[in-house]
């Protein structure tokens, strides 16, 4: 069994054929990860390419004992996406970000737009986590949205499993508290009970069928 089949990105780095196999094996998962975080097909394509370039730079850091290839890739992908967000925040104009971008053909745009549409629930879920502290949000994103295990999320973030579990617990507790507060604020005000009870009184319309109208006070 060769290195890539054993789950070793470093082996794929040394062999172009193995890297192509590695790319094909994971590109769809990486694209879905990106599509849950951006809503522009050009940005999604650029970030996916940058993630695999980052894989080439950091392949030696992969340790099978710490988690799966997917968990490690999501850690790389998260760093790339975070760096892109910081880069955009520093730019004064959107035109600077668009300049020099590789043009996509029509089929690429359609395919990526379909992927972005499919992942729109994930983007909404991520938006709902925006108010959590960074560490807790990162763990919750990877587990609740990207469907990693606690062990995989810890490996992706480079933290201990116990730390990941503590952050996950805090995140869930904060979200439950927020949901409870939202529910309480949305509940309709109940009016005071009337001093006297009213009972319905049967009445007949001129055309015959029975209806119920408010009756006299009992």
Would you say residue 15 has pLDDT above 90?
A: no
On the 0-12 / 13-18 / 19+ scale of CB atoms within 10 A, 42 is middle
What is the CB neighbour count within 10 angstroms for residue 115? 17
pLDDT in tens, 85-105: 777 766 645 554 555 555 667
Strand-pair partners of 217: 198
> How many residues make up the chain in this entry?
218
- What kind and span of H or E run contains 125? helix 120-128
Output 107 or 206, whichever has higher pLDDT. 107
Structure tokens at 187: 């509940």
DSSP designation for 65: G
pLDDT in tens, 153-207: 999 999 999 999 999 999 999 888 887 877 777 666 554 455 554 444 444 444 4
Do 67 and 156 meet the contact criterion of CB atoms below 8 Å apart? yes
Strands (E), 26-185: none
Would you say residue 23 has pLDDT above 70?
A: yes
């Amino acid at each position: 069994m060769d290195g890539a089949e054993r789950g070793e990105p470093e082996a794929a780095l040394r062999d172009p054929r193995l890297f192509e196999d590695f790319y094909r094996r994971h590109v769809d998962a990486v694209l879905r990860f990106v599509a849950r975080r951006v809503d522009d097909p050009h940005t999604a394509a650029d970030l996916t390419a940058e993630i695999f370039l980052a894989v080439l730079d950091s392949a030696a850091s992969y340790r099978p004992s710490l988690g799966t290839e997917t968990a490690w890739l999501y850690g790389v992908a998260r760093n790339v996406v975070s760096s892109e967000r910081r880069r955009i925040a520093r730019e004064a104009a959107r035109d600077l970000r668009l300049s020099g971008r590789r043009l996509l053909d029509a089929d690429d745009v359609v395919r990526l737009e379909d992927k972005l549409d499919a992942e729109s629930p994930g983007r909404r879920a991520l938006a709902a986590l925006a108010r959590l502290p960074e560490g807790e949000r990162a763990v919750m994103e990877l587990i609740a949205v990207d469907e990693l295990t606690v062990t995989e999320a810890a490996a992706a973030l480079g933290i201990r499993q116990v730390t990941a579990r503590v952050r996950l617990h805090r995140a869930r507790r904060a979200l439950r508290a927020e949901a409870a507060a939202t529910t309480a604020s949305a509940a309709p005000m109940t009016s005071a009970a009337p001093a006297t009870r009213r009972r319905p009184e049967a009445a007949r319309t001129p055309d015959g069928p029975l209806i119920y109208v408010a009756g006299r006070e009992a």
